[in-house]
């Protein structure tokens, strides 16, 4: 089975996910889709100090949007903010220091943000791939805490703000790696068996797809989408997959190419003509399961994921002052 998974992933990568795949797809893009003025609209981008997050924030800033950068490392985030302001001339760039893997802090941040700001578009980009099992200070496996629970808590906490906004959208940056994973609720924190960081990450990304589909059903006033950026030359790939990076670095997409569909989903009127809850690559909705795949889950499992994450979420919310 691992041979099958790896083969499928590699074939998918070679065919569509490289720079050449983007260049082929982009021939069919309509540049006017993203030539929009979004002055007065507010965007929150997590993991915005580098890679796809920074590239996304920069493109939104170029079009006049108010951008909230949510980053873990203050020093790197200040550099990124300065670069965005300098290159775009947009002064409406705000920095918030937050570790998405800390659900208590995510709750505190979201409650404060709701009191002080408006929000039209949430972009869940922050993520990690830790190759050895690590626990956060709350005893949570780090990949799960960042990619799944952090995404769930932040989005859930900001939903009331988004519900009142015009043309509200939530975009989550997933990965095509999720195609090799079926939703598995038996070991959400990867505490049993051999720990494989790549497959844990892929499972988290499958979970993000399920979250998006479930949110879309429950919140009709918000347009939800999840996307695969392709394999891009970003710091996370270099640090988490060094052998892969060395072999493929000449074929990887640029950061801007990886961010293109995020920007399109966040800005374009065309994006919301698609039904809410879909998975996208290169500005098109694509299937969330490969043909003849074993990755389909029963609806009750997908609903159970939401229940379990809500239990986790409320547990950490209760520890917040007030």
Which residues are known to be catalytic?
Answer: 201
Listed residue (146, 175, 107, 144) closest to 305, CA to CA? 144
Listed residue (26, 70, 83, 82) closest to 44, CA to CA? 70
User: How remote is the C-alpha of 274 from its chain's centroid?
Assistant: 19
Listed residue (189, 187, 182, 225) closest to 203, CA to CA? 182
Listed residue (286, 273, 276) closest to 229, CA to CA? 286
- Scanning 123-194, the segments in alpha helix (DSSP H) are 142-143, 151-163
- Cα dihedral 36, 37, 41, 45, rounded to 10, equals 60
Torsion sign (Cα): 232, 35, 172, 115: positive
Angle between helices 151-163 and 299-317 (to 10 degrees): 90
The two tokens of residue 208 are 């993000």
**Per-residue three-class SS string for 7-44:** HHHHHHHHHHHCHHHHHHHHCCCCHHHHCCCCCCCEEE
């Amino acid at each position: 089975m691992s041979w099958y998974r790896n083969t499928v992933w590699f074939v998918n990568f070679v065919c569509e996910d490289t720079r050449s795949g983007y260049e082929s797809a982009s021939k069919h893009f309509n540049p006017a889709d993203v030539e929009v003025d979004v002055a007065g609209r507010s965007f929150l981008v997590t993991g915005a100090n580098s890679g796809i997050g920074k590239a996304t924030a920069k493109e939104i800033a170029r079009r006049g949007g108010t951008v909230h950068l949510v980053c873990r490392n203050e020093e790197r985030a200040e550099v990124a903010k300065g670069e965005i302001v300098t290159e775009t001339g947009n002064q409406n760039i705000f920095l918030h220091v937050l570790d998405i893997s800390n659900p208590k802090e995510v709750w505190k941040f979201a409650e404060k943000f709701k009191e002080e700001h408006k929000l039209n578009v949430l972009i869940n980009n922050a993520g990690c791939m830790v190759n050895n099992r690590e626990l956060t200070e709350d005893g949570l496996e780090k990949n799960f805490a960042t990619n799944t629970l952090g995404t769930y808590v932040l989005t859930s906490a900001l939903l009331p703000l988004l519900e009142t906004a015009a043309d509200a959208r939530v975009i989550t940056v997933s990965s095509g790696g999720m195609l090799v994973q079926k939703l598995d609720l038996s070991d959400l924190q990867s505490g049993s068996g051999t720990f494989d960081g790549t497959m844990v990450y892929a499972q988290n990304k499958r979970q993000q797809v399920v979250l998006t589909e479930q949110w879309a059903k429950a919140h009709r006033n918000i347009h939800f989408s999840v996307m695969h950026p392709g394999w891009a030359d970003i710091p996370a790939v270099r640090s988490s997959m060094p052998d892969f990076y060395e072999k493929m670095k000449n074929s990887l997409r640029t950061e801007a190419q990886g961010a293109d569909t995020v920007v399109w989903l966040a800005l374009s009127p065309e994006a919301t003509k698609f039904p809410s809850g879909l998975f996208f690559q290169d500005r098109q909705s694509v299937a969330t399961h490969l043909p003849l795949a074993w990755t389909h889950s029963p609806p009750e499992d997908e609903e159970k994921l939401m229940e379990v994450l809500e239990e986790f979420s409320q547990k950490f919310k209760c520890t917040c002052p007030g």
